Amino acid sequence: MGEFLPSNPVMVVHGGAWDIPDDMVEAHLRGVRSAVAAGWRVLERGGSALDAVEEAVVVMEDDETFDAGRGSFLNRDGKVQLDAFIMDGATLRGGGVGCVERLRNPVRAARKILSDSPHVYFVAEGAERFAAEHGIALCRNEDLVIPREVKRLREYQAQAAGGDGNDLFAPTEDMLSHDTVGAVALDRGGNIAAATSTGGTLNKAPGRLGDSSLIGCGCYADNSSAAASTTGWGEPIMKLVLAKWAADRVESGNLPEWVAKEAMNYLKQRVNGHGGIILLDAQGRFGIAHNTPRMAWALHTAQKQEAGIQRNG
Ligand code: GLY
Tens digit of pLDDT at every position of the chain (313 positions): 445 556 799 999 999 998 888 999 999 999 999 999 999 999 999 999 999 999 999 999 999 999 999 999 999 999 999 999 999 999 999 999 999 999 999 999 999 999 999 999 999 999 999 999 999 999 999 999 999 999 999 999 998 887 654 544 455 544 556 679 999 999 999 999 999 999 999 999 999 999 999 999 999 999 999 999 999 999 999 999 999 999 999 999 999 999 999 999 999 999 999 999 999 999 999 999 999 999 999 999 999 999 999 755 3
304 CA distance to ligand 1 centroid (A)?
30
Give the ligand 1 atom nearest the CA of 208.
Answer: 5
Position in ligand 1 atom list of the atom nearest CA 199: 5
CA 278 distance to own-chain centroid: 9
| Ligand 1 atom closest to the CA of 210, numbered from 1 | 5
- 163 Cα–ligand 1 center, Å: 24
For ligand 1, is residue 199 a contact (CB within 6 Å)?
no
* pLDDT for position 164: 54
The residue to mutate among 197, 211, 290, having the most atoms of ligand 1 within 8 angstroms of its beta carbon, is 211
Instruction: Please state the domain extents for the chain.
Output: 10-311
Name the phi and psi angles at 66, rounded to 5. Answer: -100, 160
Exposure class string for 86-121: b at 16+ Cβ within 10 A, else e: bbbbbeebbbbbbbbbbbbbbbbbbbbbbeeeeeeb
For residue 2, what pLDDT is reported?
44
Q: How far is the CA of 6 from the centre of ligand 1 (A)?
A: 35
Q: Measuring from atom 4 of ligand 1, which residue has the nearest CA? A: 234
Domain 10-311 grouped into CATH 3.60.20.30: yes
Residue 176 CB coordination number (10 Å): 18
Please identify every residue annotated as catalytic: 180
Atom of ligand 1 nearest to the CA of 234: 4
The pLDDT value given to residue 1: 40
Instruction: Report whether residue 234 contacts ligand 1, using a CB cutoff of 6 Å.
Output: yes
Give the whole-angstrom CA distance, residue 230 versus residue 312: 17
Give the contacts of 246 (CB within 8 A, at least 6 positions apart): 220, 226, 228, 259, 260, 262, 263, 277, 279
Cβ of 212 below 6 Å from ligand 1? yes
State if residue 182 touches ligand 1 by the CB under 6 angstroms criterion: no
238 and 214 Cβ atoms separated by less than 8 Å: yes
* Residue 289: partners with Cβ closer than 8 Å, 6 or more residues away: 260, 261, 263, 264, 276, 277
CA–centroid distance, 275 to ligand 1, in Å, is 10
